[in-house]
Amino acid sequence: MHPIMTNSAIKHMYTLGANIKRKNGDLAGKSEIEKMVVCCLPERVKMMMNPIFLRRSIRSFIDKSVEREKLERIAKAGQLAPSAMGRFPWEILIATSPEAKQMISQMSPYSKMAARAGAVIIVCADMQKAIAGQAWWIQDCAACTENILLQIVAEGMGGVWLGTYPKQECMKKISEFFMLPDHIIPFSTIALGYSKEENIAKDRYDPAKVHFERF
């Protein structure tokens, strides 16, 4: 099964396509994936196979470790983000220790779920690589963070973006705990892990907010 395709998502898609004229004859004996491909609307299939259309904030985690290879792929995805003038100012810090997760859970009233996460990822900015006098590093690190969130979904897990920059109290706690050099600024914190909750996002598309040619 594709890592981002849960059983309930497959059944949901199958239901949507059940009334479409069936192709390739009888579906008896076919797998759920085959039924999905045959029966569902092509556009719906594309959306459900794309983590962009599945991702939502997951704040509840089960007690299960996150595999090292998955964490490495997630970090790789983050580093594929675009960057102004090719500076790539991000540094990605990954922590799985109970002590680190507990500290993150206490840095803010909104980060308590980090204590139960499988891992936490902190996207930092190397100000020695940032463009002097410019704030493009903020956009760079935000793009890196979003890539990480999407790859978490692709790996079959859930995650939530915990605001860090520019909240000085959170930044200070992270910098002190992880002993960050002065030129490394914590930008975002992501709690992630396996969850009983599914990544089935709400449809927030609002055509009134989309403007062609002119506002």
Contact 144, 123 (CB under 8 A): yes
pLDDT in tens, 162-190: 999 999 999 999 999 999 999 999 999 99
Average pLDDT, the chain: 86
Cβ neighbours, 10 Å, residue 63: 8
From residue 128, alpha-carbon distances to 54, 165, 174 in Å are 36, 17, 19
Q: What is the pLDDT of residue 45?
A: 54
Q: What is the pLDDT of residue 35?
A: 58
Q: What is the pLDDT of residue 2?
A: 46
Give the global pTM: 0.79
**How far is C-alpha 25 from the chain's CA centre?**
39
Q: What is the pLDDT of residue 17?
A: 47
Q: What is the pLDDT of residue 132?
A: 84
From residue 20, alpha-carbon distances to 7, 36, 38, 57 in Å are 21, 11, 9, 33
* Domains of the chain and CATH, by start: 7-49 (no CATH), 68-193 (3.40.109.10)
If you count them, how many residues does the chain have? 215
**37 compared with 86, residue with greater pLDDT:** 86
pLDDT greater than 50 at residue 16:
no
124-135: average pLDDT: 93
Query: Residue 159 and residue 149: Cα distance in Å, rounded?
Result: 6
Q: What is the pLDDT of residue 20?
A: 41
Q: Which residues contact 49 (CB under 8 A, 6 or more apart)?
A: 2, 4, 5
DSSP 166: B
pLDDT in tens, 88-126: 999 999 999 999 999 999 999 999 999 999 999 999 999
pLDDT in tens, 17-67: 444 444 445 556 666 655 555 555 555 555 556 888 889 999 999 999 999
